[in-house]
């Protein structure tokens, strides 16, 4: 016997919270950077989220690779940006502008470049 859990007490006193479904679709953009191996992925994610601003509903790592085709001391880091406005469908130009801001910020802060 390791532990007992009172299931009747789990979540007691808190009404369930529901979030309405979004009325407008989200847009995704994948960006793959070549960065120094010593840079923490989480720092890059935080910087990308700040650069993306209020339209970013999610920024996450979808790929991290080092090996054949990647220079010594570097790694390939893929970020997925999920962008959404609460009041409208984003235009392609808006998504492009956010992606450009993210690329510029990650390049300036970490010396990273987009991987071809």
* Residue 110: band (very low, low, confident or very high) from pLDDT cuts 50, 70, 90: very high
**Does 70 map to a domain?**
yes
Q: Say whether 28 sits in a helix, a strand or coil.
A: strand
Helix (H) or strand (E) holding 80: strand 74-83
**Per the structure, how many domains does the chain have?**
1
pLDDT at position 79: 98
**Does 10 map to a domain?**
no
Residue-range definition of the domain harbouring residue 93:
21-114
**Does 110 map to a domain?**
yes
CATH code assigned at 88: 3.30.70.380
**Does 28 map to a domain?**
yes
Look at 2 and 77; give whichever has higher pLDDT.
77
Sheet arrangement for strand 56-65: 56-65, 74-83, 27-36, 113-114
* Distance of alpha carbon 79 from alpha carbon 40, whole angstroms: 13
């Amino acid at each position: 016997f390791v532990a007992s859990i009172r299931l009747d007490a789990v979540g007691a006193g808190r009404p369930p919270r529901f979030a309405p479904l979004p009325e407008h679709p989200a847009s995704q953009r994948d960006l793959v950077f070549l960065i120094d191996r010593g840079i923490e992925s989480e720092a890059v994610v935080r910087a990308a989220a700040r650069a993306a601003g209020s339209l970013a509903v999610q920024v996450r790592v979808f790929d991290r690779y080092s090996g054949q085709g990647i220079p010594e001391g570097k790694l390939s880091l893929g970020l997925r940006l999920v962008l959404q406005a609460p009041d409208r469908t984003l235009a392609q130009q808006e998504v492009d502008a956010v992606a450009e801001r993210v690329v510029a910020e990650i390049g300036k802060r970490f010396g990273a470049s987009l991987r071809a």
